[in-house]
A and B are shown apart, each in its own frame.
Chain A
């Protein structure tokens, strides 16, 4: 009995790891690495990569531009309805992507809440790159904002108070004190948001469709290609594995950067005195 329990723990862990690792490894093992590179050169893969890069850059830039001030306000101000506002930000995190897709269609679609006015102005949103960007922002943005609220919330308010008494207005206090101190947390949030955005599928396919060279992102291309050209689907899958692993590594490395900032002066101090 005493020997049995550690054995159960070991077997369960081994099975779990194998279950998680084998499908990822299979992507790389099914065909030679050289063929994966060749498959990535196909038109479908190239178009999907371009669409993904374009929409990701725009979406993540907008998420950071709007999310950072939003997170700062939610973290530092107390006002009635603050908890409600934070809960509303969190809602898309738990929402099924298909619901996000139908919601976006009901808002920006041709017959949607805002879509009819936009279409009168000659702007069509649904099934365009704009729709891809909006879908990614809707599902991925909350990851950045939620992490950002926590990051700004951890900044010692005495430090921002000190900045104010030293003559810095609210904007300079934000830029010189709150933002640098929250930066590692914000970077982690951006990485999470980026990873979620790259993997976006459900909302995008409903709201933006899967048109090659227009709205077909890498994730959508994997789905489109798997019964047409399995090798291309595998190659795109392999690319996404590499990107996702890089993101994970970034998030894991951030805390050690933060620690290293306190070690860094040791180096500069010794070099200064020598």
Chain B
């Protein structure tokens, strides 16, 4: 089992990158807002950026070790890096692009076929669509037979329609390669669907690393919760009835959660956990927030609804049945088991 070990400390323009990460034969997604230093991590691994302090090793062999002065040039690191805008050589044909770094000339045609770009072999990159360019960039990286795969925002240059298709293809490819892979994205959905583990990076630091479902189930930080799509209700927590935690919300009212906490907290609620009704329902839900509807946005077969501080998602059918209008007062409900508590400092 391959293992890529990374320890970095590097001063970027605005933030200091501090990161320790071990990647086995798996895909780890680094997600976070732009400027968090995600791409710099990839550049450091590839040898295009020399960190102030750090060690990068593949299976115990150091590519970089500032303590011993080891710093292998990029061409001596077995890395397949797919750049954000793909960086295809404009003066070379698709085939020549893929063959550029190929360790074995015979492999080129196999890779072209595998990525379904064999028919484009003689085209220049300028003639390709976004999805085709992305496949050429991946093919070029793979033809090098790298030990580590690095993908910088592999889907961001694509339109929404192509993106869904390419995301599916990429997931299959990553599963078949089983290489230590680091994927940088600012989109939690991309990360959740492509990666085995997701690391949330903010201001140069990794806030939390775990499976996408673990990040949703137990966000360690308000930013992580918001990134996974949750809305946050701030308040003060204390013990409540039936062993629940009672949170007095800043916006007024109280919320109950099965999580344990005390003092300043944030309650994270995901939109799919929120139910909307005209009057508070007589059911298992204990948390009810009565407020006017701020906005109603239809996305395909779902309606995204903002009720006071909460965001919910309901089906278009339910929204029509309830006859919801902006400005009307409704009740948004969620269960105590669906309310995640994040302890604030």
Bound-state CA distance A180–B75 (Å) is 20
A164 partner residues in chain B, CB cutoff 8 A: 47-48, 73-75
B122 partner residues in chain A, CB cutoff 8 A: 265, 268-269, 272
Per-residue CB proximity of A153-168 to B under 8 Å, as 1/0? 0001011011111111
When C-beta atoms are compared, the residue in chain B nearest to A261 turns out to be: B91
With both chains docked as a complex, state the minimum distance between the C-beta of B4 and any C-beta of chain A, in angstroms.
15
Verify if A177 is at the interface (C-beta below 8 Å from B): yes
Bound-state CA distance A266–B123 (Å) is 8
Verify if B206 is at the interface (C-beta below 8 Å from A): no
Query: Are the CB atoms of A162 and B89 closer together than 8 Å?
Result: yes
B85 partner residues in chain A, CB cutoff 8 A: 158
Bound-state CA distance A45–B124 (Å) is 49
Give chain A interface residues in 132-176, CB to chain B under 8 Å: 156, 158-159, 161-169, 176
Verify if A274 is at the interface (C-beta below 8 Å from B): no
Contact partner, B126, options A163, A176, A262, A272, Cβ 8 Å: A262
Verify if B138 is at the interface (C-beta below 8 Å from A): no
Verify if A181 is at the interface (C-beta below 8 Å from B): yes
A165 partner residues in chain B, CB cutoff 8 A: 46-48, 74-75, 77, 79-81, 101
Verify if B13 is at the interface (C-beta below 8 Å from A): no
With both chains docked as a complex, state the minimum distance between the C-beta of A110 and any C-beta of chain B, in angstroms.
49
Contact partner, B101, options A167, A262, A264, Cβ 8 Å: A167
Q: Total A-B pairs in contact (CB under 8 Å)? A: 72
Give chain B interface residues in 92-143, CB to chain A under 8 Å: 93, 100-101, 103, 122-124, 126-127, 140-141
When C-beta atoms are compared, the residue in chain B nearest to A169 turns out to be: B75
Verify if B144 is at the interface (C-beta below 8 Å from A): yes
Per-residue CB proximity of B156-191 to A under 8 Å, as 1/0? 000000000000000000000000000000000000
Query: Are the CB atoms of A168 and B101 closer together than 8 Å?
Result: yes
With both chains docked as a complex, state the minimum distance between the C-beta of B167 and any C-beta of chain A, in angstroms.
23
When C-beta atoms are compared, the residue in chain B nearest to A180 turns out to be: B91
Query: Are the CB atoms of B90 and A181 closer together than 8 Å?
Result: yes
Query: Are the CB atoms of B89 and A177 closer together than 8 Å?
Result: yes
Given contact pairs A158-B87, A159-B89, A262-B124, A166 touches B144 in the complex (Cβ within 8 A): yes
Give chain A interface residues in 252-274, CB to chain B under 8 Å: 261-262, 264-266, 268-269, 272
With both chains docked as a complex, state the minimum distance between the C-beta of A149 and any C-beta of chain B, in angstroms.
20
Bound-state CA distance A269–B128 (Å) is 12
Which interface class (under 10, 10 to 19, 20 to 34, 35 or more) fits A?
20 to 34
With both chains docked as a complex, state the minimum distance between the C-beta of B111 and any C-beta of chain A, in angstroms.
13
A166 partner residues in chain B, CB cutoff 8 A: 75, 100-101, 140-141, 144
A176 partner residues in chain B, CB cutoff 8 A: 100
A262 partner residues in chain B, CB cutoff 8 A: 90, 124, 126-127
B90 partner residues in chain A, CB cutoff 8 A: 159, 181, 262
When C-beta atoms are compared, the residue in chain B nearest to A156 turns out to be: B87
Verify if B83 is at the interface (C-beta below 8 Å from A): yes
Query: Are the CB atoms of A162 and B127 closer together than 8 Å?
Result: no
When C-beta atoms are compared, the residue in chain A nearest to B128 turns out to be: A265
Query: Are the CB atoms of A167 and B73 closer together than 8 Å?
Result: no
B93 partner residues in chain A, CB cutoff 8 A: 265
Bound-state CA distance A149–B263 (Å) is 62
A163 partner residues in chain B, CB cutoff 8 A: 89, 100
When C-beta atoms are compared, the residue in chain B nearest to A166 turns out to be: B101
Bound-state CA distance A180–B124 (Å) is 15
Per-residue CB proximity of A229-249 to B under 8 Å, as 1/0? 000000000000000000000
Bound-state CA distance A272–B94 (Å) is 14
Between B73, B77, B101, the greatest number of chain A beta carbons within 10 A of the residue's beta carbon is seen for B101
Query: Are the CB atoms of B81 and A162 closer together than 8 Å?
Result: yes
B124 partner residues in chain A, CB cutoff 8 A: 261-262, 264-265
Contact partner, A162, options B77, B83, B91, Cβ 8 Å: B83
A156 partner residues in chain B, CB cutoff 8 A: 87
B91 partner residues in chain A, CB cutoff 8 A: 180-181, 261
Bound-state CA distance A265–B48 (Å) is 32
Query: Are the CB atoms of B89 and A158 closer together than 8 Å?
Result: no
Between A158, A162, A266, the greatest number of chain B beta carbons within 10 A of the residue's beta carbon is seen for A162
Query: Are the CB atoms of A167 and B127 closer together than 8 Å?
Result: no
Bound-state CA distance A214–B74 (Å) is 52
When C-beta atoms are compared, the residue in chain B nearest to A173 turns out to be: B75
Bound-state CA distance A163–B126 (Å) is 18
Give chain B interface residues in 27-63, CB to chain A under 8 Å: 46-48
Bound-state CA distance A262–B85 (Å) is 18
Bound-state CA distance A261–B93 (Å) is 11
- For this complex, 7 residue pairs linking A to B, each with C-beta atoms less than 8 Å apart, are A162-B83, A164-B75, A165-B79, A165-B81, A167-B75, A181-B91, A262-B90
6 shortest A-B CB distances, which residue pairs?
A: A166-B101, A164-B74, A162-B87, A265-B124, A165-B81, A158-B87
Given pairs A159-B90, A164-B74, A264-B124, 11 additional interface contacts (CB within 8 A): A156-B87, A158-B87, A161-B83, A162-B89, A165-B74, A167-B103, A169-B73, A262-B124, A265-B124, A265-B127, A272-B122
